[in-house]
Structure formats: C-alpha cells, structure tokens
Amino acid sequence: MATGNQLQSFTTKSAPDLRPQGEAGLRIVLLRKVPEESSLQRRWNDLVLQMKRPEVFFTCEWALAVQAAYHSSRKPLVLLGYDGDELVGVACLSTDASGRNVSFLTATTADYCDFVSPPQRRAEFVEAVFAELRCLKISSLVLANLPADSATAAVVRAAAKKHGLHAHMRPAYACSQVKLGTAEQRQELKTTVARKRQLKRCLKMMEREGPVTLSFLRSWSEIEPMLPVFAATHVARFRTTKHTSFLSTPERRVFMEDLARRSTAAGLMTMTVLKVGERAVAWSYGFQVHGVWFLYQTTFDTRCQDNSPGYCLLAKILIEACDLSSLGLVDLGLGAEVYKEWFANSTRQTLHVTLNPSRLRHLREVARYGLANNVKRFPKLEAAIRKARSGLRRGVD
C-alpha cells in the first residue's frame, strides 16, 4: 500500500526559470499567479517537507487547484522568499476585488493554512512578507486556519509590531485526530475499534445484503468516475440535514476534480470506498502525506444510514491505519461531528489571526470578537440575534 510520503510534482509544460539571479540575502519575489512551472513546484514541495508538520494543504498542487477553480473570484498574490538562488519561503495569498484585503489563497478549502518555510527561517520570512505587504498598502491581512503549534503563530505578533501591524489572534477550530502510537498502542486501538458494539451490529446488518469490503483508489483512472457519484451523494446527505454541502457550487466541484487529478499524479491521494456487495455506500476523499492519513471529505448514502455506513468506514480506516508502520496519525479534520469524538484521542487547535495597519480597525475587530464571545454565553440571545440577521438578509435580497 503506497503511503504518499513523497511530495513529488507532476511534469508540466516548461516555463521560464523564476529564480532571481546574482543577489545576496533574503528577498521577496511577488507573483500575481501560481505558476504552472515544474521546477518551482518541486522546490515548493521540498520546502513543505521541511515544515514541522507537512500538510497536503501547503503543497503547490493544492494552490494550483484553488487557482484553477476560483480564477474569476480570487486574485493570487504569491510571495516567494529567496536567499541567493535558493527558495526558502512561500506565502500563498490572495486579494479581494479591491486588492487591499489579503488572506490565504487556500483559506476556504484548506483545514490548515500557513507560510511555507523551514521553521528556523520562519521569523525572517514572515517579517519579509509583512514588510512587502506594507509596501503594497494593504488594508488588512487575515490568516485563517493557522495551526496553533506552527512556527508562524509563535512569531507573528513580533513581526506585526515591527512593521506597524496590529495583530488580533483568537482560537478558531479544534481538529479531531487519532494518534496511532506504539505497536502495543496500535494493537490496543485496533482491538478497541473492532470490538465496538455498534460496529459489529451495523456490519452484521449490511452483510445480510452482501460482503462488506473496503477498497483504496489511488490512480486518476480509478477516482475520476467516482467523483460525480461522491459529489451527488455529499450534496444529498447535507440536504437531508438542511445544511449546505461543501460541494454545492460548481466551483467546489471543479476544485475537487482538479485537486484529485493533480494529487493522484503526485502520489498523494487515497479515495477509500466502503461497499456492500458491488454497491458503494460510503466514501472518504483523503490524502496520505508524510505519515498522516488526512480524511478531507467523507460522505455516505443516506438510504443506508440506519446501518451507519460512515461510522463503519471510519472504523475500518482506523483498523487499516494501525497496520501501516508508515503512518503515525489519522487526522479527521475540521468539524465537530459526533462520530469523530467516538474515535479521537487528540486534537489540533487552529487560530484566526487578523492584522490591521489601522489601530481603529484593530480595536473594532477586538471589540466585535469580545461581544460575540460574550453573546455565546446566552444561547437564547444568540439565537435571537441570528434570527434577526437572517430576517435582515432576506429583506435585502
């Protein structure tokens, strides 16, 4: 079973070498698009592997997929840090229509976002990026889904202060994870999961219709025909709960397809399918990168929900992961679904960081967050405010 630990880039049509020549010291090269240039992709992904926690979301493939899907609504702003001819940092950002408000390009698609560089050079690179953004006269910089354990989180306040930016850092999400541990701990986890009463009951019910099997798809030829079914099932599942699916818009589906194509070529993606006989009942669109199996999007056929196919799929993935020495962690990603709590033995905190050159806007941001946080202590008041906002939106529409 392939682990996808290598972040190799697929071959693309050659483009001019983007490296600056003949200068010394760390400097920033600003690009207005993510280049389809194989040499840069390789060096970018090499930097990802030097991160403390390499993530598929930091790869050039992810940025290219976002750019391809959202080209009409997002304007990439890529800042490359060079020391001589060596690439030492990548900040993959984007601007709004005004060009004044900046955020991570991947913020609405990635569970984790960060500046890419070796940890020991992060402070230097973050300072250089902030200096460049000040020269561009930005109105705000929003760093969403920044891991709290990232080297960036540790240096962002000092770098912001140095360049006249006011930083507001607050907790965002806690991502559920399953640490696999030692050989003994893996065996214990595997046994615990396999013995769960609900799992045994659901599998027994499904086995009345046919054998329950798990398959792993890694090639584009295998995954491509599954994507329309996966998307339709995802949308249908969320519709039953009166929520909006991640895949409800054409741009999202284009993104998922383009990402799958690029990720399979780079050896990163694993789509896991749970079948009853020949019928697929649950899917996981995920990645295996540098010892982590990340379950990005999962869904199941709601016609089978009485047998909890999504729960069974996750349980079987964990049992499979316990047998793979190349893996140390299964990351269940953003979202507070109850089924994650049944398995998780760890969490990873993310942060939402807002940086403003204006002290007044900074104080407004802090006050707004404080007010919203206090309102959450009074559920009835929070519900009334949400209802009022919803009514105002309908009135405007």
From CA 345, how far away is CA 333, in angstroms rounded? 13
20 has a pLDDT exceeding 60? no
- Model confidence band, residue 393 (pLDDT cutoffs 50, 70, 90): very low
177-348 and 26-173+350-364 share a CATH fold: yes
- Model confidence band, residue 362 (pLDDT cutoffs 50, 70, 90): low
How much is the pLDDT for 370? 59
Once rounded to an integer, what is the mean pLDDT over residues 162-186? 93
Q: Count the helix, strand and coil residues of the chain and give each as a percent rounded to the nearest 5.
A: 45, 25, 30
Once rounded to an integer, what is the mean pLDDT over residues 33-62? 96
Query: What angle (nearest 5°) sits at the alpha carbon of residue 44, between those of residues 41 and 47?
Result: 150
Q: Give per-residue pLDDT as tens, 305-327.
A: 899 999 999 999 999 999 999 99
Q: To the nearest whole number, what is the mean pLDDT of the chain?
A: 87
The CATH number given to 26-173+350-364 is: 3.40.630.30
- Nearest to residue 12, comparing CAs of 43, 37, 40? 37
Q: Give per-residue pLDDT as tens, 96-150.
A: 988 889 999 999 999 999 999 999 999 999 999 999 999 999 999 999 999 999 9
How much is the pLDDT for 379? 60
Tokens at residue 348, please? 């990873």
Give the start-to-end residue ranges of the domains of the chain.
26-173+350-364, 177-348
Q: Given the structure tokens 């316990």, which residue do they identify?
A: 322
1 has a pLDDT exceeding 80? no
- Nearest to residue 296, comparing CAs of 55, 50, 51, 7? 55
- Model confidence band, residue 24 (pLDDT cutoffs 50, 70, 90): very low
Considering the four listed CATH numbers 3.40.50.150, 3.40.630.30, 3.40.640.10, 2.60.40.3620, the one that applies to the domain covering 177-348 is 3.40.630.30
How much is the pLDDT for 335? 76
Cβ atoms of 331 and 161 within 8 Å: the answer is no
pTM of the prediction? 0.85
How much is the pLDDT for 337? 77
How much is the pLDDT for 318? 97
233 has a pLDDT exceeding 50? yes
DSSP H or E run through 373: helix 359-375
Once rounded to an integer, what is the mean pLDDT over residues 189-198? 94
What proportion of the chain, given as a percentage, has pLDDT over 70? 84
Once rounded to an integer, what is the mean pLDDT over residues 22-37? 82
On the 0-12 / 13-18 / 19+ scale of CB atoms within 10 A, 157 is: middle
How much is the pLDDT for 334? 84
* Count of other CB atoms within 10 angstroms of residue 380: 7
- Model confidence band, residue 94 (pLDDT cutoffs 50, 70, 90): very high
Tokens at residue 148, please? 């709290």
Q: Where are the beta strands (DSSP E) in 180-289?
A: 212-217, 269-276, 279-289
Tokens at residue 27, please? 């400097």
Q: Which amino acid is at 47?
A: L
Q: Which amino acid is at 91?
A: A
How much is the pLDDT for 242? 84
- Model confidence band, residue 376 (pLDDT cutoffs 50, 70, 90): low
How much is the pLDDT for 73? 85
4 has a pLDDT exceeding 50? no
| Paired strand residues for 93 | 77, 104
